[in-house]
Amino acid sequence: SDGKGTAIYAPVPEGQARALKRAYVQAGYGPEAVDLMEGHGTGTKAGDKAELDGLHLVFGEVKS
């Protein structure tokens, strides 16, 4: 990538959410069982946004 656009390997929120949902199915429980989430945190604008958006697709709005 020349940094001017996204590459084929750029993170996609929908793909990250799909992988996480499949992992929960295989584990036999759902996102509601999660008490703590530690993100991957690449420290890049694209990576961090994709991760947060993907987590939002799985966990929805956070209510405290």
Q: What secondary structure, in 3-state letters, does 3-47 show?
A: CCCCCCCCCCHHHHHHHHHHHHHHHCCCHHHCCCCCCCCCCCHHH
Is 34 inside any structural domain?
yes
Is 64 inside any structural domain?
no
Q: How confident is the model at residue 6 (pLDDT cuts 50, 70, 90)?
A: low
Condensed to tens digits (0 to 9), the pLDDT of residues 10-51 reads: 788 999 999 999 999 999 998 889 999 888 877 888 888 999
Which residue reads 């890049």 in tokens? 44
Is 7 inside any structural domain?
no
Is 6 inside any structural domain?
no
Measured distance CA(34)–CA(30) in Å, rounded: 8
Is 52 inside any structural domain?
yes
Is 42 inside any structural domain?
yes
Is 31 inside any structural domain?
yes
Which residue reads 């996102």 in tokens? 31
If one counts the domains in the chain, the total is: 1
Find the domain containing 51 and state its range.
13-59
Q: How confident is the model at residue 62 (pLDDT cuts 50, 70, 90)?
A: low
Q: Which two tokens stand for residue 31?
A: 């996102």
